[in-house]
Amino acid sequence: LQEQLYDAAELIQHSRQIVALTGAGISTESGIPDFRGPGSIWQQHPPVRYRDFLHKPEARQSYWATRNSLIKQVTAARPNAAHYALVELERRHSLQGVITQNFDGLHQDAGLPPERVIELHGTSRFAACTLCGSRSSMPALQQRINSGEVDPRCHLCGGYLKAATILFGQRVPDAELARAKEIAEACDLFLVIGSSLKVTPASTLPRLALKRNIPLIIINLQPTSLDASADVVIHEKAGEILPEIICMLNT
């Protein structure tokens, strides 16, 4: 492990345009469960597809049955050492941006400037209408659900309300994906932190870097499909490993 940490520190030390792709695994140490690991959300409740959410009341009920408690956990969560380690890289002027699949806002809470964070799958800090697209307060929507509303509708147009996050079958916003590709095409080091790399299009982004022979570091508890192509692979907790790597960097 020590050798892998050293190799990772060496690569980071010599890079000035680092891009990180983060997934649910970077936030498990903040108390938010991931979707696929042991004890994960989908082991208990299968994911709701966007088309079903729009057309089936029982799908919306199932969505809110799991989402409401997940959003509560997300709201109470604080950034962990892995989020802060990325802020440290940004302060050293070597982090170009973080592309995240997370909707928890913890990168920004840790202190990353919002313009450096690309939220590919949206944010659970807001509610969004599936018909008119308007955003509204998530705490207000949660209050409606907590007081017994089972199928909340938009006050403006009557459309169904959900968190401003992407469900399966829903398009990743074009602007976010374009920005993510742009920085992945321009980086000189790509980090994957806490992602199973099973969700497209996020999982295609490290491949853009690999095509240009850019080094890849993967820090993820479980193996991923890109482990064999990576320069450094560390199957340990991000919140323990990233701060250690940062400590190895020269000031």
Which residues in this chain contact ligand NAD in the complex, by CB under 6 A?
23-25, 27-29, 32, 34-37, 101-104, 121, 194-196, 198-199, 219-222, 237-239
- Is 157 labeled as ligand-binding? yes
Judge whether 121 counts as a catalytic residue.
Answer: yes
Nearer residue to ligand NAD within complex by CB, 4 or 102: 102
Rounded to a whole number of angstroms, the minimum distance from the CB of residue 133 to ligand NAD is 19
The pairing of beta strand 117-119 with beta strand 95-100: parallel
CB 85 within 8 A of CB 245: yes
Rounded to a whole number of angstroms, the minimum distance from the CB of residue 40 to ligand NAD is 6
Rounded to a whole number of angstroms, the minimum distance from the CB of residue 129 to ligand NAD is 20
CA neighbor of 70 nearest in space, from 160, 197, 162: 162
- Is 247 labeled as ligand-binding? no
Task: Pick the catalytic residue from 83, 121, 155, 235.
Answer: 121
- Whether residue 201 is preceded by a cis peptide bond, meaning omega within 30 degrees of 0, is yes
Nearer residue to ligand NAD within complex by CB, 32 or 99: 32
Nearer residue to ligand NAD within complex by CB, 25 or 206: 25
CB 78 within 8 A of CB 47: no
**SS3 for 160-224, per residue?**
EEEEEECCECCCCCHHHHHHHHHHHHHCCEEEEECCCCCCCCHHHHHHHHHHCCCCEEEECCCCC
Rounded to a whole number of angstroms, the minimum distance from the CB of residue 95 to ligand NAD is 18
Residue numbers annotated as active site: 121
Tell me the binding residues for Zn(2+): 129, 132, 154, 157
